[in-house]
């Protein structure tokens, strides 16, 4: 009987050790990863819409009970368009988590928005890798645009296993 007790203790210790090693060597969060050689002219070329506008409201769009796929929806009043055609009031959607490439816009601030998607429903998407920034940085940089033979980089979200 003592032999089985020793084996049970060894098995328990091995299980705890394996759990601790897993926790140490695996990440527990998603990570937003943008192409390292990306620049604003590339982001301009990829965007369907580029415009300046003031954020007037923010709300959370719940997409699933866990909140893992929720979006922030920002209401933006458009002042100037550089690319594409958006309505005067447009909704900019982004993931709620920065680790999933979501962006945090401040109500009352003016942004240069790089949006993607069809704006016919008054909504565009934007994320960290798309390049949305404060408008105080000036108009979008469009010099050095990629040629038609260049492969356009993309933003990816990788998820590490959680423990």
Per-residue pLDDT tens digits for 129-159:
999 999 999 999 998 765 555 444 555 444 4
Buried b (16+ CB within 10 A) or exposed e, 95-126: bbbeebbbbebeeeebbbbbbeeebeeebbbb
> Tokens for 79?
């002042």
CB atoms within 10 A of CB 88: 11
CB contact at 8 A, 30 and 100: yes
The CA distance from 47 to 60, in Å, is: 24
Identify the pLDDT of residue 26. 38
CB contact at 8 A, 100 and 157: yes
- Higher-scoring residue by pLDDT: 91, 17: 91
Mean pLDDT of 42-47: 94
Which helix (H) or strand (E) segment holds residue 25: the answer is helix 2-25
Q: Are strands 30-33 and 89-95 parallel, antiparallel or unpaired?
A: unpaired
Identify the pLDDT of residue 71. 96
Q: What is the pTM of this model?
A: 0.71
- Higher-scoring residue by pLDDT: 110, 2: 110
What's the pLDDT band for 13 if we cut at 50, 70, 90? low
């Amino acid at each position: 009987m003592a032999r089985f007790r020793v084996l049970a203790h060894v098995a328990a210790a091995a299980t705890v050790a394996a759990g601790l090693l897993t926790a140490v060597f695996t990440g527990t969060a998603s990570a937003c990863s943008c192409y390292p050689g990306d620049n604003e002219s590339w982001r301009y070329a990829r965007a369907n819409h580029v415009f300046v506008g003031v954020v007037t409201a923010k709300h959370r769009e719940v997409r699933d009970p866990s909140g893992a796929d929720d979006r922030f929806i920002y209401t933006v009043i458009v002042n100037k368009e550089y690319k594409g055609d958006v309505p005067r009031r447009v909704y900019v959607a982004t993931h709620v988590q920065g680790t999933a490439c979501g962006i945090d816009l401040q109500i009352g601030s003016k942004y240069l928005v790089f949006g993607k998607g069809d704006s016919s429903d008054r909504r565009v998407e934007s994320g960290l890798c798309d390049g949305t920034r404060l408008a105080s940085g000036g108009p979008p940089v469009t010099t050095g645009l990629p040629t038609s033979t260049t492969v356009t980089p993309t933003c990816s979200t990788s998820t590490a296993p959680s423990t």
